[in-house]
Structure 1
Amino acid sequence: MPSISVRRLYQDNQSKLKLAWSAGTAGADNRIAIDGDKPILALVGHLNFIHPNQIQVLGVAEVEYLSKLETGDIKTSFDELFNLPMTLIIVANNLAVPYMLRDYCHTRNVPLLTSKIESPFLMDVLRIYLQRSLAASTVKHGVFLDVFEVGVLIVGQSGLGKSELALELVSRGHGLVADDAVELYRIGPEILEGRCPPMLRDFLEVRGLGVLNIRAIFGETAVRPRQPLQLIINLVPADDDYMQNLDRLSIQSETQSILNVAVRSVTLPVAVGRNLAVLVEAAVRNYILHMRGKDSTKEFLDRHTAVLKEENDAHENRTD
């Protein structure tokens, strides 16, 4: 099950959320993880005794409530609060931390952070962050590119020229996301995001040239840190028999399931004389048209059927 430590959350968001440690540093390695079937968005919320969040956020109303606990005006005790299953407490809005809360966090090893940011914005940022950090993931072998702002994963057996194809597409103005190992994360019910492992970032291996630094050769705009996956290009070896038996007017839309998300896929035969870069660009343009409700193959077949019907009607009229 994906999880991250409180320490990692603090390091990744310290600057953006203006976070500071207040107490409970011994709990820095507490893990934040998906709780059963609960959505990731439910991991963060304002102080809740009924459905406690792993990350309990205190705004103005919550700090006032805890201040009343300190004075004994409310029967609920701090012991009851710290019997709740929680991993982290954040006091937002640049509010002063109640003394007893700091003391309990210290003795119970519950990390206590403060933030100068207002609690609604802080929770929105953390929910988006956790959605990315705790997303279900897998690794696919291939090359992942941004082609016309569409995330394209090029896959196929070794030796078919995936990296050479990627290099040509980059030289035509498209962007490289990852080569060889592509990390795919499900960041939404039907959204996959592709990223590059840090060690491989910016690099593309091309047979005969070795490892190329694409950012250094082509500039900053030639690489992308991440991109939603929308289209898979399957490269397959082809000979004359394969090309002759290919169904040229097939209108079936192929899909491939990754992390239970259906992704549209296209199979491109690799044969001598075929310009694969142009074919990939055409496949992406055709995908964009499909998303806009325009199916070129179906339009051709409909037009062909209409012409045949007109010729048949004309023949029947002449016969009559």
Structure 2
Amino acid sequence: MQMVNVSHLVEHFHMKVVSGDKGLSREIAVTDLSRPGLQLAGYTTLYPAERIQILGMTELEFLQTIPEDVVIERLSFLMSEETPCICIARNLELPKEVLAISNERGVPIVQSHLATTSLVSKLTNYLEDRLAPTATMHGVLTDVYGVGVFILGASGIGKSETALELVKRGHRLVADDAVEIRETQEGLLIGTAPDLIQHLLEIRGVGIINVMTMFGAGAVRNAKNIDMVVQLELWDQHKHYERLGLDEEKMKVMDTDVPVITVPVRPGRNLAVIIEVAAMNYRLKRMGYNAAVHFSKRLTDTIEDHDSFL
């Protein structure tokens, strides 16, 4: 999880800092936002102080209906030690007395030109992305026909060489060796490469190559959803490998179940072509066509027809 503070919001959304400059380093630890209408109306129980407080036109119109001393009292209540900041939509303004309290307590008050609904939506998306749980896994992430294929396997089994062949065949590399994964929402995993090794690929016997420099900008991408996992392992003649594809195995990556296929590796097998076919088959399944189920149905119908003939 990355650390986010108020200054990040100000920079990203081009906000104006109205007061409380010394509190710009306050950390934002939750993705939820608060529109403190109840608190402004006088109900101060269960105040979510750890959230960003959003004030829009409705809240400020309400404040104009109550005495000024009550306005100052209730707005000052919002400026607790835990409150990251108060964000005002539509560049609306607060009384100067409130700004003085903000400066005294070090709680930033920032303005945005966005409408309240739009501001809430954009802030939520930004925080969910930045505060998403993260993990780093050893493997190679590629974009094959628009499908994010995460290639796993023991060291030296050929993951990077397979990725190189996929790049030569027109697909794109996302990350090699180490993949940083963020779970931005339930069921959605986004993989990226660490900055230090972005666009780099290690080929044993050759060394490190820069895929973007060698193959062009179209051969790489910075991030990709992880749609399926391909597990490479040495061929074991005593192990039963899936031949029909009726049973879809799952692998838990962080808290999300991802479809996984196990591909046995032995001399003569073209892993890049197999992964291409696996990616295309994945797309067909998501579009509603499953070749294995279709074959099974045809086989069942043939057997039933034969039995009825007898």
* TM-score under structure 2 length normalisation: 0.88
Q: Is the 8 A contact 2:33 2:120 kept in 1?
A: no
RMSD: 2.5
Structure 1 residues not aligned, in runs of 5+: 35-39
- Tell me which moved more, 137-146 or 249-258: 249-258
- Whether 1:4 and 2:4 are equivalent positions in the alignment is yes
Q: Does 1:275 align with 2:270?
A: yes
Are 1:257 and 2:247 matched, yes or no?
Answer: no
* Structure 2 residue 125 is matched with structure 1 residue 128: yes
How far apart, CA to CA, are the structure 2 residues paired with 1:299 and 1:266? 19
C-alpha displacement of 1:161: 0.9
Q: How far apart are residue 174 of structure 1 and its match?
A: 1.3
CA-to-partner distance for each residue in 1:68-105, whole Å, 9 max, x for gaps? Answer: 67833658444433248421112221223431222111
Pairing 1:232-247 to 2, within 5 Å after superposition: 232-238=229-235, 241-242=237-238, 245-247=240-242
3-state SS in 2 of match to 1:300: helix
What is the percentage of aligned positions where both structures have the same residue? 34
Give the equivalent residue in structure 1 for 2:28. Answer: 32
Cα pair 1:179 1:205 within 8 Å, conserved: yes
Give the structure 1 partner of residue 33 of structure 2.
Answer: 43
Find 1:310's aligned residue among 293, 305, 308.
305
Per-residue deviation, 1:23:
2.0
Which residue number in structure 2 is paired with residue 105 of structure 1?
Answer: 102
Task: Give 1:29-178 correspondences, 5 Å limit.
Answer: 29-34=25-30, 40=31, 42-45=32-35, 49=39, 51-52=47-48, 54-66=51-63, 71-72=68-69, 76-83=73-80, 85-178=82-175
Alignment deviations for residues 14-71 of structure 1 (CA, whole Å, 9 cap, x no partner)? xxx331222222222211113xxxxx3x335466525446111222333445566783
> Structure 2 stretches of 5 or more lacking a match?
none
More displaced stretch, 61-70 vs 132-141: 61-70
Q: How many angstroms does 1:9 deviate by? A: 2.9
Deviation track 1:161-185 (CA, whole Å, cap 9, x = no partner) reads 1111111111212111111111111
1:20 to 16, 22, 26: 16
Query: Which residue of structure 1 lines up, in the alignment, with residue 224 of structure 2?
Result: 227
| CA distance in 1 between partners of 2:53 and 2:10 (Å) | 15
